[in-house]
Structure 1
Amino acid sequence: MFGNKETHLVALSDLDEAREAVRQALADASATDTPGLRAALSILDGFTGSDPRVRWVAKILEEQGIDPHTNEVAAIKALRDALPGLSLVAATALAREAKLAQTV
């Protein structure tokens, strides 16, 4: 009963802090640094609203070449292989969230 440890995927995001740091750097940037910092800010803004857990799942499935729409079982297995201790229930929920995110 107490020996079974389940791993939970907790995604932390520091995007707001990173975005603010780039904005501050942009305010003080030279003309040569400005284009690169604007590009960096644009990239960070592209992550707004996306769930880090779903991005992690998408990355794992893309690396494995697995489409969760056509092969949910393989997707679940790939997630559990990538994060040992991830429960079947949690892996299934993550795979299904990834499917929903792809259809939106």
Structure 2
Amino acid sequence: MNTKPLHFYQTTPEELTENILKGVDNKFQEFFDKYHPSKNEEELLTLEEALIILKCSNQTLWNWRKEGILPSYRLGNRVYLKKSDIYSNLIKQDFNG
């Protein structure tokens, strides 16, 4: 039977609260960094990846591109969307109704 030594630390409730809040803050920062890239780092998405994020049909995405709601970018024979454009345009649509 493997036994591991137990370590007991005496902490005050304030220290415990501070440690918990630091852990929560770190998790929020990881989430923010993962889903909101910095302005210097533009992530390009394929149409298929954009469809997964938007949870809409191919026809709807095509209409949004055609109407200029979501700008698209062509590199060679491939079409891409900027992730930042998707999020910023969704926010604009949400507030403007």
Which bin holds the TM-score, normalised by the shorter protein?
under 0.3
TM-score (norm 1): 0.26
Bigger helix share: 1
The one of the two structures with greater contact order (alpha-carbon pairs below 8 A, sep at least 6) is 1
